[in-house]
Chains A and B, each alone.
Chain A
Amino acid sequence: MTTNLSRRAFLKGATALAAAQALPISLVELAFADESQNFTFAYISDSHIQHIRGAKFVRNWDRGLIRAVAETNLLHPKPDFIMFGGDLAQLGSKPELDHGAEMLSALSGKVHHVMGEHDYYLDLGEYWSQLFGPHYYSFDHKGVHFVVLNSILTFDDWTFNRWPTAEQRMAEMAGLDNPNGSPFMVGDKQREWLRQDLEKVDKNTPLVVFSHSPLQKIYKGWNFWTEDAEPVQELLKPFAKVNVLYGHVHQIQYNQIGNISFHSVMATAWPWPYPASYAQAEQYLPKLTVPMNRADPFFERDATGWQFINMANGNVDLRYTLYENRSREVAYNDKTKQPEDSAYQPDSARIPPQTHY
């Protein structure tokens, strides 16, 4: 039995949540013999820094990233590292990536990066790599194996043969619901790399996979999608505890498929709605149990945010810092064996969703 106290104390220290409830904790498994191996990291994603001209950038997106960086620097105790979940830039240009990198440089701590499609489709990630390193890689930290995938690749024909210019290719992939887009995938080459990388890892080692696209099939029309999700999940199946953290969707989602817990992270730029609200016909989306509060359009930061993640006993618990809105927590429930937003499970606690648009 781990003690609840240490995690509660951590939460209190981290956000100093005098008034907030602590995470629901009922962990009986002991993945780590030593509690000091539990740790935290912060996760910032989808900033979409957008160049206008000269030294001008879209102020709204700048403010979102600036604020997330400043607040991450206030976390106490300090997170072990910070993930940036992709789509730092809007159109993948050098000025955008430079401007974003400059803002991220204010972070105190090691930053790992995930490739987003907005970072990639202008020069296929070349300049991004100069700034942030390889497109996919893995690392180990305090007994956890972390994998970073580039999951926004697509068919070679689309990438290399279809578009007259790199700029147009970028613009086509930058739309949310552009019918000229193409479904995301991890691809054969990277899946083979992943297979080899995981071969060396003990199956009881907790696994955390960072990806930009969801690694599950949610809604193809908006590319909330990974074409080869099943074979990727197949590679993760042998492990006792797997957590997938993805960006791209600009909203809170969580799901459990077999042994894999899926969590999305928020964007600092703007929110997307859940695709259900857009549906024109019967569809088979994963059930949305807790709808997001509808954002107040007056407050540009509403329904944007960032999160810090408590890694304990091999599961990730996410605390979402939201603006002008109620912060939320999604934590692994050991009884139901899935991630849950426990505060909002009873109907009485729900904020009624907006059903007309």
Chain B
Amino acid sequence: MKALALLGLALLAGAVYAEPLGLPPVPIPADNPQSAEKIKLGDKLFHDKRFSSTGAVACSNCHDDAKAFTDSPRRVSEGVNKLTGTRNAPTVINAAYMKTQFWDGRSPSLEDQALYPFLNPVEMALPDHGPILKIVRNDPDYAAAFQSVFGKSGEAITMKEVTQAIASFERTVVAGNSPFDRWYYGHDERALTPAQVRGFQVFVGQGRCVSCHVIEQTQALFTDNRFHNIGVGITAVQADVPKLAGAFLEAKAKGVDVDVAVLTDKKTSELGRFAVTDQFDDLGGFKTPTLRNIALTAPYMHDGSLKTLKDVMTHYNNGGIAKAGDRVNDFLSGGIRPLNLTSQQMDDLVAFMQALTSPEFAQTAAKAK
């Protein structure tokens, strides 16, 4: 946490602060400028277990600082009373750069995203945001902090301020400066092993990974911020898609809560981005995640169905199926096709993935073990 606090303070210096190697400046919304106190307040809110129906679940339960802000090695996240959802917790690290939040992009910003887990029955399970506001308006520490940061107290404190503070904190959870960054942007030839360099060549060449996991001339977010059906999850529910899609659209027309539907029903979850846009093109499509710190955040994919990075490479190499011989799903993205990689090339890719770990998280992960 020390590194993050320092970064938070550094953010305030503005001109003085330089973003980590390999990353662009963090986008900060005009109506929610960063301040040291706001970041600290957000940090506290993020780790507060009282904002759940059982008093046992904070944001940090599933986005644990010590596990690169995920709940690795869980396949899917666990909320109140050991209830599980349908999706693998994405890391908060560098989420500030994402154009949408959640695996299916159903939320447009960090501020908006923070509203939902509090209310989802399999996450923090509050009936409404009332209990949170009661605490932050009455707890002396919170009351003082909200007064100081937002100049507000009592009824004037709303979820807008709460989520702004949480988002401000999350905007400090950024990390670059990985061996890859030092090699690619810092021109340090010794930063990568020969296997990692070979893996990079596969990444930008025969593996075609870079088409979605974007690397640019001065920065690499390793995402295109788009949604693709890569054959995970939906493959298992293919026969049900016509019924599922129809039933979901009917339910949505009647006002069903999409956030609840996708986290509580496994099959509905597999509709992916379609649940948000209703477009056929988005059936089974999920957001391209960043690959930064990927070695620390197993298991993989929106449903946590792939245990290891080698499993991921195998899935892509098969052209969007986990096991050769499985039926490719009808809605597979046109960007996915068999790659004919050798086992060596796939191992090199995995080695390259390990070069994307930021030093501060490598340390926390090692300590957590």
Q: How far is the CA of A71 from the CA of B249 in the complex (A)?
A: 15
Among candidates B241, B278, B319, B330, residue contacting A16 with C-beta atoms closer than 8 Å: B278
Q: How far is the CA of A299 from the CA of B285 in the complex (A)?
A: 14
A-facing mask of B309-335, CB < 8 A → 1, else 0?
A: 000000000010000000010111111
Binds B, one of A41-49, A130-138, A163-171, A319-327: A319-327
Known A-B contacts A74-B242, A74-B245; A63 and B278 likewise in contact (beta carbons under 8 Å): no
Query: Is the Cβ of A16 less than 8 Å from the Cβ of B249?
Result: yes
Query: Is the Cβ of A323 less than 8 Å from the Cβ of B334?
Result: yes
Contacts of B245 in A (CB 8 A): 74
Query: Is the Cβ of A67 less than 8 Å from the Cβ of B279?
Result: no
Among candidates B242, B280, B334, residue contacting A300 with C-beta atoms closer than 8 Å: B334
Query: Is the Cβ of B281 less than 8 Å from the Cβ of A323?
Result: yes
Query: Is the Cβ of B277 less than 8 Å from the Cβ of A324?
Result: no
Q: How far is the CA of A76 from the CA of B331 in the complex (A)?
A: 18
Instruction: Let me know if B337 is at the binding interface, CB within 8 A.
Output: yes
A-facing mask of B29-63, CB < 8 A → 1, else 0?
A: 00000000000000000000000000000000000
Q: How far is the CA of A305 from the CA of B332 in the complex (A)?
A: 14
Contacts of B152 in A (CB 8 A): none
Q: How far is the CA of A38 from the CA of B6 in the complex (A)?
A: 66
Query: Is the Cβ of B331 less than 8 Å from the Cβ of A67?
Result: yes
Instruction: Let me know if B151 is at the binding interface, CB within 8 A.
Output: no
Query: Is the Cβ of A298 less than 8 Å from the Cβ of B280?
Result: no
Q: Nearest chain-B residue to A306 (Cβ)?
A: B280
Among candidates A69, A74, A76, A300, residue contacting B241 with C-beta atoms closer than 8 Å: A74
Q: How far is the CA of A300 from the CA of B330 in the complex (A)?
A: 14
Query: Is the Cβ of A70 less than 8 Å from the Cβ of B330?
Result: yes
Query: Is the Cβ of B281 less than 8 Å from the Cβ of A302?
Result: no
Instruction: Let me know if A33 is at the binding interface, CB within 8 A.
Output: no
Instruction: Let me know if B14 is at the binding interface, CB within 8 A.
Output: no
Taking the closest CB of chain A, its distance from the CB of B165, in whole angstroms, is 31
Q: How far is the CA of A19 from the CA of B249 in the complex (A)?
A: 13
Contacts of A71 in B (CB 8 A): 280, 330-331
Among candidates A66, A73, A298, A322, residue contacting B335 with C-beta atoms closer than 8 Å: A298
Q: Nearest chain-A residue to B208 (Cβ)?
A: A298
Q: How far is the CA of A69 from the CA of B242 in the complex (A)?
A: 12
* In the complex, chain A residues 285-323 whose Cβ is within 8 Å of any chain B Cβ: 298-302, 304, 321-323
Which residue, B279, B280, B328, B335, has most C-beta atoms of chain A within 10 A? B280
Contacts of B148 in A (CB 8 A): none
Contacts of B340 in A (CB 8 A): none
* In the complex, chain A residues 70-84 whose Cβ is within 8 Å of any chain B Cβ: 70-71, 73-74, 76
Known A-B contacts A74-B242, A74-B245, A298-B211; A15 and B280 likewise in contact (beta carbons under 8 Å): yes
Query: Is the Cβ of B279 less than 8 Å from the Cβ of A327?
Result: yes
Contacts of B27 in A (CB 8 A): none
Query: Is the Cβ of B278 less than 8 Å from the Cβ of A18?
Result: yes
Taking the closest CB of chain A, its distance from the CB of B301, in whole angstroms, is 20
Give the number of chain B interface residues (Cβ < 8 Å): 23
Q: How far is the CA of A258 from the CA of B85 in the complex (A)?
A: 60
Query: Is the Cβ of B335 less than 8 Å from the Cβ of A300?
Result: yes
Q: How far is the CA of A300 from the CA of B335 in the complex (A)?
A: 6
Instruction: Let me know if A59 is at the binding interface, CB within 8 A.
Output: yes
Q: Nearest chain-B residue to A299 (Cβ)?
A: B334
Q: Nearest chain-B residue to A69 (Cβ)?
A: B330
Query: Is the Cβ of A321 less than 8 Å from the Cβ of B208?
Result: no
Give the interface size class of chain A.
Answer: 20 to 34
Contacts of A52 in B (CB 8 A): none
Instruction: Let me know if A343 is at the binding interface, CB within 8 A.
Output: no
Among candidates A19, A70, A298, A302, residue contacting B277 with C-beta atoms closer than 8 Å: A19
Q: Nearest chain-B residue to A70 (Cβ)?
A: B330
Taking the closest CB of chain A, its distance from the CB of B207, in whole angstroms, is 12
Taking the closest CB of chain B, its distance from the CB of A170, in whole angstroms, is 27
Instruction: Let me know if A60 is at the binding interface, CB within 8 A.
Output: yes
Query: Is the Cβ of B280 less than 8 Å from the Cβ of A299?
Result: no
* In the complex, chain A residues 52-98 whose Cβ is within 8 Å of any chain B Cβ: 59-60, 63, 66-67, 69-71, 73-74, 76
Instruction: Let me know if B255 is at the binding interface, CB within 8 A.
Output: no
Q: How far is the CA of A75 from the CA of B249 in the complex (A)?
A: 12
Instruction: Let me know if A201 is at the binding interface, CB within 8 A.
Output: no
Instruction: Let me know if B246 is at the binding interface, CB within 8 A.
Output: yes
Q: Nearest chain-B residue to A63 (Cβ)?
A: B332
Contacts of A74 in B (CB 8 A): 241-242, 245-246, 280
Contacts of A15 in B (CB 8 A): 278-280
Known A-B contacts A17-B278, A298-B208, A327-B279; A63 and B246 likewise in contact (beta carbons under 8 Å): no
Query: Is the Cβ of A76 less than 8 Å from the Cβ of B280?
Result: no
Contacts of B338 in A (CB 8 A): 59
Contacts of A70 in B (CB 8 A): 241, 330-331
Contacts of A66 in B (CB 8 A): 330
Among candidates B208, B242, B280, B337, residue contacting A60 with C-beta atoms closer than 8 Å: B337
Q: How far is the CA of A280 from the CA of B74 in the complex (A)?
A: 61
Contacts of B330 in A (CB 8 A): 66-67, 69-71
Q: Nearest chain-A residue to B332 (Cβ)?
A: A63
Query: Is the Cβ of A324 less than 8 Å from the Cβ of B281?
Result: yes
Query: Is the Cβ of B334 less than 8 Å from the Cβ of A324?
Result: yes
Contacts of A60 in B (CB 8 A): 337
Q: How far is the CA of A74 from the CA of B281 in the complex (A)?
A: 12
Please name 10 pairs of A and B residues whose Cβ atoms are closer than 8 Å in the assembled complex, sorted by A.
A15-B279, A15-B280, A16-B278, A19-B277, A19-B278, A67-B331, A70-B241, A70-B331, A299-B333, A301-B333
Which chain A residues have a beta carbon within 8 Å of chain B's beta carbons? 15-19, 59-60, 63, 66-67, 69-71, 73-74, 76, 298-302, 304, 321-324, 327
| Further 4 A-B residue pairs, CB within 8 A, beyond A67-B330, A298-B208 | A19-B278, A60-B337, A66-B330, A74-B246
A-B pairs with lowest CB-CB distance, top 3: A301-B334, A70-B330, A300-B334
